[in-house]
Structure formats: C-alpha cells, structure tokens
Structure 1
C-alpha cells in the first residue's frame, strides 16, 4: 500500500469495522496497519453486535428490563464514542495502542500473513 502507515492506521478507525476490513484486506505487509485495522474490526464489530442484542431485548417491552437495556445502550454509545476518539488519535500519532483483551486478539490476527512494520 502506498500510504503512510500512521495515516492508514488512523483511517482504519474512521468508519468503524468497515474501514477496518478494507485496510486489513488491502495491507498485506505492515503489521502496524494490520493491527489497527483488526483492532477496529474487533472493537466496532463487538459494539455493533452488543447494540443489536440490546435493541432486540429493548423491543421485548418488558418494563424494567427495557429500561435497563436503554441505559446500557446509552452507556455503550458513550464507550463507543470515547473509544473511537482514543483509537483515532493513537492511530494517527503512530502509537501501538492496545485495547484490553481485544488488543491481544488483534495482535495475534494481524501477525498472521504480515512480514514487517
């Protein structure tokens, strides 16, 4: 890929898991870019799945449970926004910032098929 690795790492977070997939598939060599792309896929993909589950449970219209899932959805939105900002900044600054748990998986998957930084 003919792009600065810091730029590619930051851009892999721009549209969540969508740009993560694009950069992961396009970049075959650079572990740094592949790591950030995979972390984007795992973080935003996980948020998307959790959001769908919470929406389904909220739709069941069970009074107290629906209230709890609405609160959890709001919290999930805040976590997603803050995470997105932190990941964008670290990616564009060229930092190898690993999220807890997700970062380890991203590192493992990013190193498969990549040869260097």
Structure 2
C-alpha cells in the first residue's frame, strides 16, 4: 500500500502524516478537530471526511455521483476516482469470471472477499481523513483529482 496523507476536517488542506496542526488553518488534529463538521470545503455541504467515505458506499456508482457533484475538494475527488476505478475493475472482473465454469467460481469468491475487505478499509480510511492510496489506482486517482474541473 502507498503513503497515507491526512486532510484537515475544517479546511480540507493536505497535511503530512502525524502532523499535530493543520498547515493551512492551524486547526489541531485529534478528536475535536476531526469530529467537527461546522466548516466544509466540499461543495456538497458535507465535511470532506464524510463525503470521501460516501464515495465508497455504493462502489463505483457512488464514486460517479460524488465526482459529478463535487467541485472543490481534491480529497473527495480523489476518493471518488479511486472508488470508480477500484470497484469498476472488480465488477468487470467478477462479471467476466462468471462466464468461466469452476475456475470462475473460485476466483469470483476471491474477488468478492477482496471487494468486501477493500470496501470496509477504504471507507474507514476516508472517514478518518486519510488519502490512502491503493497501488497503481491511488496514484492515478490522485492525478485525476488534481486536474482542474
């Protein structure tokens, strides 16, 4: 797995892992800073952490929804792109394997378990304000999220 980045729940700024205070707004990281939803950089009206988590709830479908409605937060766009790519590929692989007798069934179960584990881990990471990048997909999602929309 790749590097973990922290995002401020007040202003959405990217910060190095382990930082005590936000480099942009000065908010203290910890229980009080991450549980606060009074200010939001996400154009959805949700805190970036919640919007990032919701990008994964329905797999690639919710990723597309948040990609369309989110205009400001790089954090939310990153999680939307990562959700689309990760769960899109897993869905296509599962459909293709469904046509292959026996071996397809075995690999289908493996993909199903992998999908469930990734789904839970990615929601937890996004919900805690971390930009947790999967190998290959994470770097691509980060580049896509950085593009001006």
TM over 0.5: yes
Q: TM-score, normalised by structure 2?
A: 0.69
The answer to whether residue 141 in structure 2 is matched with residue 106 in structure 1 is yes
Larger RCO (alpha carbons 8 Å, 6+ apart): 1
Q: TM-score, normalised by structure 1?
A: 0.87
Gap regions ≥5 residues in structure 2:
1-42
Gap regions ≥5 residues in structure 1:
59-65
Q: What stretches of structure 1 move > 4 A for 4+ residues in a row?
A: none
SS in 1 for 2:147: coil
Give the number of the structure whose residues are more often helix, by fraction: 1
Q: Indicate the RMSD between aligned Cα atoms, in angstroms.
A: 0.9
Aligned residues: 106
Alignment partner for residue 84 of structure 2, among 32, 41, 46?
41
Render the CA deviation track for 1:32-84: whole Å, top value 9, x for unaligned: 0000010000011011110111012x2xxxxxxx2211110000000000000
CA distance in 2, matches of 1:25, 1:111: 15
1:89 aligned residue: 124
